[in-house]
């Protein structure tokens, strides 16, 4: 039902606050506009990234070999190794969770120099040896001709399929490459198809449209590669998580090639399923964040547009004193002020007081860490070493003289002379050690309390200033602190 009074009230409010109404309407419009823009941008980013990989099997993973990082069963770390044909057969026979398995070889000179020739035409392309199952994992669409098939593998046929860029370089415009021959690394191959990748994801390097793919078995035999497998890809059966299959594959391959079970570097892998879930979670988070920001903006603008009510504070009267203060400029000078300095040079290890503290006479206010002169320290250390050698020699000599004296072989005067020599060497060793301790720490073991590394207050009073900090270097003339009495 139309309420005339309500619309009249709205019209009056808009007329009274015309500018605020216009700004509020613009703010709401801008908030909705930004919400639409951010949501569309997030969706466009998601479609742009996922569109390039949507055709690839999302339950797939790719595996290659790396050098081992741990020694195991007599093998050293850093060992290089390769997959073998027998590994692929063992996987097919023992892992039922595998749906598709496709080994791959990288041809000779794939990344350097011209490796493909036809008449006067030549080019450097990426040469791969593949199984037909590879196209079920990473789909390719034939533009003309066909893909590789099982008969090509069984009969070791010298056939190949080529990417669009290869066809452009090696053949004239309008010429059909199917049925023509290419000389690849010195061997002629019949072109049976021109193909285009359905995804932009490229595992193995190089441009996908510059690829030449020949049967896996043909490449092994033609280029004398033995039973080596450079790389392989797998997809899991429906309902089997790819990360579970990835873990089982790595465990199986490590046991077959004597690799430590906890060596995480020896087998390189890329799990499409895990990465795909990460992207999905990321874009879901972006969409949620977009809505939070958009709705939050609208809520903020709504609150800003609301008329703030007038708030009056009520104060109660109270009784108090009126204090009148006078500020005078100047400085307070103590009647008796002294500077406290260290007795030795070094680094301030610890300050025990700060400005304003009250100290007693002989109270420890700082500790100095002595940094000895290297020449003096080395001489003192040498003196200790020499004294120790002399003491050990005197000790052995005393023991021998003691044994001879007990047998009445030598006189008491000779024995006493050995005792004096021993005691003198011992005292020299003690003096050398004390000298070394004094140079290093500023205190000897016998006089730990009488040390000049501890700075003590010379008066009883208040600390006025501490111009140094812990870690500062000081000499005997530096002022550590100023005290007044």
pLDDT single digits (tens) 276-311: 777 667 667 777 777 677 667 666 666 665 556 667
Q: What is the domain count for the chain?
A: 3
Tens of pLDDT along 169-226? 999 998 999 999 999 999 999 999 999 998 877 766 668 889 999 999 999 999 999 9
pLDDT at 377: 75
Q: Looking at the structure, do residues 343 and 436 belong to the same domain, yes or no?
A: no
Domain assignment present for residue 276? The answer is no
Element at 161 (helix H, strand E): strand 159-163
- CATH number reported for the structural domain that contains residue 477 in this entry: 2.40.50.100
Q: Looking at the structure, do residues 234 and 207 belong to the same domain, yes or no?
A: yes
Domain assignment present for residue 457? The answer is yes
Q: Looking at the structure, do residues 98 and 78 belong to the same domain, yes or no?
A: yes
pLDDT at 301: 60
Domain assignment present for residue 387? The answer is yes
Bridge-based pairing of strands 228-229 and 454-456 is: unpaired
Tens of pLDDT along 462-475? 887 788 888 777 77
Look at 364 and 223; give whichever has higher pLDDT: 223
pLDDT at 481: 63
24: alpha, beta or left? (left if phi > 0; alpha if psi -120 to 50): alpha
- pLDDT (mean) for 158-175: 94
| 105 phi/psi in degrees, rounded to 5 | -120, 145
Rounded (10°) angle between helices 18-51 and 4-16: 90
pLDDT at 181: 96
pLDDT at 127: 92
- pLDDT (mean) for 328-345: 72
pLDDT at 128: 93
What mean pLDDT, rounded, does the chain reach? 81
Domain assignment present for residue 345? The answer is yes
Give the global pTM.
0.52
Per-residue pLDDT band for 398 (boundaries 50, 70, 90) equals confident
The SS3 of residue 479 is coil
pLDDT at 431: 85
pLDDT at 45: 63
Structural contact between residues 290 and 38, judged by C-beta atoms closer than 8 angstroms: yes
Per-residue pLDDT band for 485 (boundaries 50, 70, 90) equals low
Query: Whole domain around residue 401: which residue ranges?
Result: 381-442
Structural contact between residues 124 and 116, judged by C-beta atoms closer than 8 angstroms: yes
Per-residue pLDDT band for 348 (boundaries 50, 70, 90) equals confident
Structural contact between residues 178 and 192, judged by C-beta atoms closer than 8 angstroms: yes
Q: Looking at the structure, do residues 246 and 117 belong to the same domain, yes or no?
A: yes
Per-residue pLDDT band for 461 (boundaries 50, 70, 90) equals confident
Is the per-residue pLDDT at 412 higher than 90?
no
pLDDT at 404: 84
Q: Looking at the structure, do residues 200 and 169 belong to the same domain, yes or no?
A: yes
**Domain limit, last residue, from 206, 233, 265:** 265
pLDDT at 195: 95
Q: Looking at the structure, do residues 102 and 228 belong to the same domain, yes or no?
A: yes
Q: Looking at the structure, do residues 104 and 249 belong to the same domain, yes or no?
A: yes
- pLDDT (mean) for 82-93: 93
Domain assignment present for residue 399? The answer is yes
Is the per-residue pLDDT at 447 higher than 60?
no
| 31 phi/psi in degrees, rounded to 5 | -65, -45
Domain assignment present for residue 434? The answer is yes
- pLDDT (mean) for 419-435: 86
Look at 448 and 427; give whichever has higher pLDDT: 427
pLDDT at 163: 94
pLDDT at 82: 94
Q: Looking at the structure, do residues 212 and 105 belong to the same domain, yes or no?
A: yes
Domain assignment present for residue 416? The answer is yes
Residues above pLDDT 90, as percent of the chain: 32
Q: Looking at the structure, do residues 481 and 352 belong to the same domain, yes or no?
A: yes
DSSP 119: T
Q: Looking at the structure, do residues 177 and 72 belong to the same domain, yes or no?
A: yes
| Highest mean pLDDT pick, 80-89, 363-372, 408-417, 436-445 | 80-89
How would DSSP label each residue in 306-327? Answer: SPPPP-----------------
Tens of pLDDT along 107-146? 866 566 889 999 999 999 999 999 999 999 889 999 999 9
- CATH number reported for the structural domain that contains residue 420 in this entry: 1.10.287
pLDDT at 88: 94
- pLDDT (mean) for 5-19: 66
- pLDDT (mean) for 72-83: 92
Look at 282 and 229; give whichever has higher pLDDT: 229
**Domain limit, last residue, from 265, 297, 328:** 265
pLDDT at 483: 63
As given in the structure block, the two tokens for residue 156 are: 């070791």
Look at 263 and 307; give whichever has higher pLDDT: 263
Per-residue pLDDT band for 167 (boundaries 50, 70, 90) equals very high
- pLDDT (mean) for 416-444: 81
Domain assignment present for residue 228? The answer is yes
Burial class of 95 by CB neighbour count within 10 A (0 to 12, 13 to 18, 19+): middle
Range in 72-81, 410-419, 473-482 with the lowest mean pLDDT = 473-482
Per-residue pLDDT band for 3 (boundaries 50, 70, 90) equals low
Per-residue pLDDT band for 18 (boundaries 50, 70, 90) equals low
- pLDDT (mean) for 79-98: 93
Q: Looking at the structure, do residues 75 and 202 belong to the same domain, yes or no?
A: yes
**Domain limit, last residue, from 222, 242, 265:** 265
Q: Looking at the structure, do residues 362 and 245 belong to the same domain, yes or no?
A: no
In order of 342, 380, 479, the CA distances from 452 in angstroms are 8, 19, 16
pLDDT at 21: 65
């Amino acid at each position: 039902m139309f309420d005339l009074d309500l619309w009249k009230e709205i019209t009056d409010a808009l007329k009274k606050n015309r500018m605020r109404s216009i700004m509020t309407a613009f703010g709401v419009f801008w908030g909705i506009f930004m919400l639409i823009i951010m949501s569309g941008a997030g969706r466009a980013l998601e479609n742009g990234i996922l569109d390039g990989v949507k055709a690839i099997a999302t339950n797939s993973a790719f595996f290659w070999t790396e050098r081992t990082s741990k020694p195991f069963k007599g093998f050293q770390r850093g060992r290089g190794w390769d997959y073998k044909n027998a590994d692929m057969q063992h996987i097919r026979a023992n892992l039922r969770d595998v749906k598709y398995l496709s080994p791959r070889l990288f041809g000779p000179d794939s990344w350097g120099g011209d490796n493909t020739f036809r008449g006067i035409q030549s080019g450097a392309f990426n040469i791969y040896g593949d199984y037909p199952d590879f196209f079920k994992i990473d789909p390719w669409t034939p533009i003309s001709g066909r893909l590789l098939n099982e008969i090509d593998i069984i009969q070791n046929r010298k056939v190949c399929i080529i990417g669009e860029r290869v066809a452009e370089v090696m053949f004239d415009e309008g010429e059909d490459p199917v049925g023509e021959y290419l000389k690849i690394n010195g061997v002629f191959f019949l072109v049976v198809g021109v193909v285009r990748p359905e995804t932009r994801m490229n595992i193995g390097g190089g441009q996908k449209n510059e690829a030449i793919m020949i049967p896996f078995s043909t490449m092994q035999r033609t280029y004398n590669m033995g039973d080596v497998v450079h790389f392989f890809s797998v997809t899991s059966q429906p309902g089997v998580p790819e990360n579970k299959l990835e873990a089982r594959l790595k465990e199986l391959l490590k046991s077959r090639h004597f690799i430590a079970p906890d060596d995480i570097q020896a087998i390189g892998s890329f799990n499409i399923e895990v990465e795909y879930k990460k992207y999905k979670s990321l874009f879901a988070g972006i969409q949620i964040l977009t809505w939070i920001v958009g709705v939050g903006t609208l809520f903020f603008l709504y609150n800003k547009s609301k008329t703030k009510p007038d708030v009056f504070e009520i104060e109660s009267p109270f009784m108090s004193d009126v204090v009148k203060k006078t500020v005078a400029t100047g400085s307070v000078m103590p009647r008796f002020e002294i500077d406290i300095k260290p007795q030795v040079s070094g680094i301030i290890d610890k300050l025990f007081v700060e400005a304003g503290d009250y100290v007693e006479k002989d109270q420890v206010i700082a500790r100095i860490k002595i940094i000895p002169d290297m020449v003096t320290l080395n001489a003192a250390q040498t003196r200790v070493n020499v004294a120790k050698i002399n003491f050990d020699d005197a000790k052995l000599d005393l023991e021998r003289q003691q044994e001879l004296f007990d047998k009445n072989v030598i006189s008491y005067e000779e024995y006493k002379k050995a005792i004096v020599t021993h005691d003198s060497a011992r005292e020299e060793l003690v003096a050398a050690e004390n000298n070394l301790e004094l140079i290093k720490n500023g205190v000897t073991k016998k006089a730990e309390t009488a040390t000049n590394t501890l700075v003590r207050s010379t008066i009883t009073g208040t600390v006025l200033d501490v111009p140094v900090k812990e870690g500062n270097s000081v000499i005997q003339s530096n002022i550590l602190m100023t005290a007044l009495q």
